[in-house]
């Protein structure tokens, strides 16, 4: 089965973004929650849980074959992983400067607070969902309605939730 030309293009762009963003959290001069979460999103357990959750969703809600569901899930998650290397920490830093700086100043809170962690979770889910829905819609010509979008968001929330939960159970050493 040959991949659709749009899928190949998305994968090439994602690989280019991933290679361009080869830096890691360990090389950063400053740290914020999205940067820490991003390192855990690449943990084997988060990847495995996310792929299984999304595969099941794709198989049931899109009513696709096993092979089609598997290929589409892997392509969508490859694209969101590679682009997410840049976009999730970027979304987090944008959050830090606005609206984070406003409420953190008013409440005299630092960066690592419950509101920022909740926003980091939501932003990571949103970034992954937006990228993956584009892969499904453009790369595979599957219709994406509200139901499908929300389902993909929930599937991403499972894997992001596993990564976030791992930070609570095994905090990183900074």
For residues 4-16, average pLDDT: 71
Summarised one tens digit per residue, pLDDT across range 69-106 is 999 999 999 999 999 999 999 999 999 998 999 999 99
Residue 36 DSSP SS3: helix
Using a pLDDT cut of 90, give the percent of the chain over it: 73
Exposed/middle/buried for 114, CB within 10 Å: 0-12, 13-18, 19+?
A: exposed
pLDDT band at 27 (very low <50, low <70, confident <90, very high): very low
Lookup: tokens for 146: 């509200």
Tell me what pLDDT residue 172 has: 86
For residues 20-35, average pLDDT: 63
The answer to whether residue 151 scores a pLDDT higher than 50 is: yes
**What is the pTM assigned to this prediction?**
0.82
State whether the Cα torsion 139-140-144-150 is positive or negative.
negative
Q: Give the C-alpha separation, 132 to 149, whole Å.
A: 9
pLDDT band at 26 (very low <50, low <70, confident <90, very high): very low
């Amino acid at each position: 089965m040959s991949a659709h030309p749009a899928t190949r293009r998305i994968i090439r762009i994602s690989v280019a973004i991933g290679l361009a963003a080869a830096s890691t959290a360990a090389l950063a001069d400053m740290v914020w929650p999205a940067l820490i979460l991003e390192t855990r999103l690449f943990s084997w357990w988060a990847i495995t849980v996310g792929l299984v959750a999304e595969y099941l969703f794709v198989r049931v809600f899109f009513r696709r074959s096993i092979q089609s569901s598997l290929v589409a899930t892997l392509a969508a998650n490859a694209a969101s992983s590679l682009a997410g290397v840049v976009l999730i920490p970027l979304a987090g830093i944008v959050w830090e400067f606005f609206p984070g700086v406003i409420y953190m100043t008013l409440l005299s809170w630092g960066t690592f607070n419950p509101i920022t962690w909740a926003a980091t979770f939501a932003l990571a889910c949103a970034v992954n969902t937006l990228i993956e829905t584009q892969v499904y819609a453009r790369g595979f010509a599957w219709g994406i309605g509200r139901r499908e979008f929300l389902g993909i968001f929930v599937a991403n929330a499972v894997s992001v939730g596993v990564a976030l939960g791992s930070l609570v159970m095994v905090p990183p050493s900074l």
